[in-house]
Amino acid sequence: MNAITAPSETTPLQRSERQAHIVKALEAHLPSHALLWNAEDTTPYECDGLTAYRQRPLVVALPENAAQVQAVLRTCHQLNVPVVARGAGTGLSGGALPHALGVTLSLAKFNKILKIDKKARTATVQCGVRNLAISEAVAGLGLYYAPDPSSQIACTIGGNVAENSGGVHCLKYGLTMHNIVKVKGFTMEGDEITLGSDALDTPGLDLLGIAIGSEGMLAVTTEVTVKLIPKPQLARCIMASFDDMRKAGDAVASLIGAGIIPAGLEMMDKPMTAAVEDFVHAGYDLNAEAILLCESDGTPEEVEEDIGRMSDVLRSCGATAIAVSRDEAERLRFWSGRKNAFPASGRISPDYMCMDSTIPRKRLADLLLAIQDMEKKYNLRCANVFHAGDGNLHPLILFDANDPDQLHRCELFGAEILETSVAMGGTVTGEHGVGIEKLNSMCVQFSAEENEQMFGIKRAFDPQGLLNPGKVIPTLHRCAEYGKMLVRGGQLKFADIPRF
């Protein structure tokens, strides 16, 4: 089998010939219905949740079992063809954006729950199982899977592993990496790998920790073993209103400073509150400049004590109104607005770009006030919702992608939010990943030496750079172009680094 040389620019004829070559090679391993290459069939795969950037894949492969995944990877490796793994396509940073000359490997058919171990409190599932489906499957056992991204009704566990997703309860229960014990999959060469184990620890390097959050750049995940935890006896939620953004930000820091770790601690600003209230009618205070949702779960006695302590702190920080959920239906109603923040934003704007930076909790108000100034600077609206407890912000910049100037201003707006976050002691991403969206901002956060270390890990797993190329880790060439921030005089210090 001869490798294909991918030209930097292709004519329609070259693209067609390359496509035919790849399809013919994959037809030996996949049934005809598991291969797509016509434009009308591949267009639905042209983007993930970051809709501002689109690219049709050359070929889409939809394997139905692990042997077919292995065969696709081995074939593409031999042909020197890039591969981009895809789950439900709910990612928000362009991590599943196809390669123009490559194969998109859809794992949507890997949707079986393989094993539930009540005694070990684990579930082994295929990568395409929806996040929420795990909790639904074990509800009868009094267990659930804790990480709960807002897209949990649709997002898959394989995608959660790729992005190290969190959710509104990550403050107390942790991100995906804290709730996974084992991952199985394949390298680009088609070698089967198992990272982690069913035991409490695994000898050797923590390769599981490296794989979780690697955005499909190191291996393709096909099977995941997750931790399950007992469902709390009771959960109650406080909805607190504030007439000043800084008071709300200070309240978040005060809650944590008081030694209280809420099950969830979320904040929404006034524009976001108005958007979600019009959508789901959660009963939010439309006059508040900011709303905090603070939840406690556990035994009835623990919850009563926590709710009392949290209410006292919130009042001392200037809350203008406090409402406590009286029953489970009201608690879910309080959360319905927060869970529907993204679709609510889609109702008031043709497009939105969701940022995902983190900052120290004490700087929450500083960044939100800075964003208000940026709205004027770029003449674009921005609604904010975020995991306040761990300082993970999700500013949603509202724009129209059909207007190139608006898209350009939106990109500049987003970059300034991320760079300001770094300047405040934060990071450019918390749980949505880097994908293609934050490549330039990675140049601000990481030095050339740090980027080289990340490239070293990439090369160890994928020497040819065929898995999800051109994402997550910026080349020094790119960083040099981006304001020459990491190099002097445009000279590349590590010119031998491959441009994955």
pLDDT of residue 202: 86
Phi and psi (nearest 5°) for 203?
Answer: -65, 155
Query: Comparing C-alpha atoms, which of 269, 498, 286 is closest to residue 394?
Result: 269
Phi and psi (nearest 5°) for 291?
Answer: -125, 135
Mean per-residue pLDDT, 223-242 = 98
- Same fold flag, 12-106 and 113-230: no
- H helices of 105-220, in order, are 131-138, 157-163, 170-173, 207-211
Instruction: Please give the structure tokens belonging to residue 490.
Output: 């445009």
| Highest CATH level, class, for 113-230 | alpha beta
Distance between CA atoms of 397 and 355, rounded to whole angstroms? 8
Structural fold of domain 234-341 = Alpha-Beta Plaits (3.30.70)
Q: How far is CA 269 from CA 254, 287, 321, 372, 387, in A?
A: 19, 11, 15, 11, 12
**Digit-coded pLDDT (tens) for 428-472:** 999 999 999 999 999 999 998 999 999 999 999 999 999 999 999
Is a pLDDT exceeding 70 seen at residue 27?
yes
Residue type, 260: I
Cβ–Cβ contacts within 10 Å for residue 281, how many? 11
Phi and psi (nearest 5°) for 82?
Answer: -65, 150
Is a pLDDT exceeding 50 seen at residue 218?
yes
pLDDT band at 197 (very low <50, low <70, confident <90, very high): very high
Question: SS3 letters for 320-331?
Answer: CEEEECCCHHHH
Those residues with Cβ within 8 angstroms of residue 122's Cβ, 6 or more apart along the chain or in another chain: 116, 181, 198, 225, 226, 227, 228
Is a pLDDT exceeding 50 seen at residue 492?
no
Those residues with Cβ within 8 angstroms of residue 477's Cβ, 6 or more apart along the chain or in another chain: 492, 499
Instruction: Please give the structure tokens belonging to residue 164.
Output: 């190290």
Query: Comparing C-alpha atoms, which of 132, 122, 118, 385 is closest to residue 274?
Result: 385
Residue type, 65: N
Task: Tell me the average pLDDT of the chain.
Answer: 93
Residue type, 164: N
Instruction: Please give the structure tokens belonging to residue 174.
Output: 């942790």
**Digit-coded pLDDT (tens) for 360-409:** 998 999 999 999 999 999 999 999 999 999 999 999 999 999 999 999 99
Q: For the domain 12-106, what is the CATH code?
A: 3.30.43.10
**Digit-coded pLDDT (tens) for 320-374:** 999 999 999 999 999 999 999 999 999 999 999 999 999 999 899 999 999 999 9
Provide the residue ranges of all domains of the chain, joining segments of one domain with +.
12-106, 113-230, 234-341
pLDDT of residue 11: 85
Those residues with Cβ within 8 angstroms of residue 227's Cβ, 6 or more apart along the chain or in another chain: 121, 122, 145, 146, 179, 180, 181
Q: Are 153 and 168 in contact (CB under 8 A)?
A: no
Query: Comparing C-alpha atoms, which of 205, 189, 192, 193 is closest to residue 465?
Result: 189
Is a pLDDT exceeding 90 seen at residue 7?
no
pLDDT of residue 485: 43
**Digit-coded pLDDT (tens) for 140-161:** 999 999 999 999 999 999 999 9
Query: Comparing C-alpha atoms, which of 164, 111, 183, 118 is closest to residue 144?
Result: 118
Q: Are 345 and 381 in contact (CB under 8 A)?
A: no
Cβ–Cβ contacts within 10 Å for residue 232, how many? 16
Distance between CA atoms of 331 and 266, rounded to whole angstroms? 14
Q: Are 235 and 146 in contact (CB under 8 A)?
A: no
Is a pLDDT exceeding 90 seen at residue 416?
yes
Distance between CA atoms of 442 and 430, rounded to whole angstroms? 13
Is a pLDDT exceeding 80 seen at residue 1?
no
First to last CA, the chain: 23
pLDDT band at 495 (very low <50, low <70, confident <90, very high): very low
